Amino acid sequence: MTQQTTAYEPSAKPVENSSDEAQNTDATLRVANEDTAAPVSEKRTTEEVRQGHTGDHVRYILIASTAGILFVFAILLALYIF
């Protein structure tokens, strides 16, 4: 029975990039920090962070789906009884 090693063994010699890979690294996109940083540091309380957006009429979707399930169960119960 042979024993296999699963540990990572880094190679002693660095991997050489082909010319195609070298060309890919030349086209990197660089963005200045001013363009990505927020203009004002955001400081929020714990309760503000925990609050989330519930929108998109979730309560109406929940009510409609619950009513639909009850309707389907009522039909199945009626078919079972009669």
What confidence tens digit (pLDDT) does each residue in 59-80 have? Answer: 899 999 999 999 999 999 999 9
- Residue 2: what pLDDT? 58
CA distance 77 to 74: 5
pLDDT for 51 beyond 60: yes
- Residue 74: what pLDDT? 97
Mean pLDDT for the stretch of residues 37-62? 79
- Residue 29: what pLDDT? 66
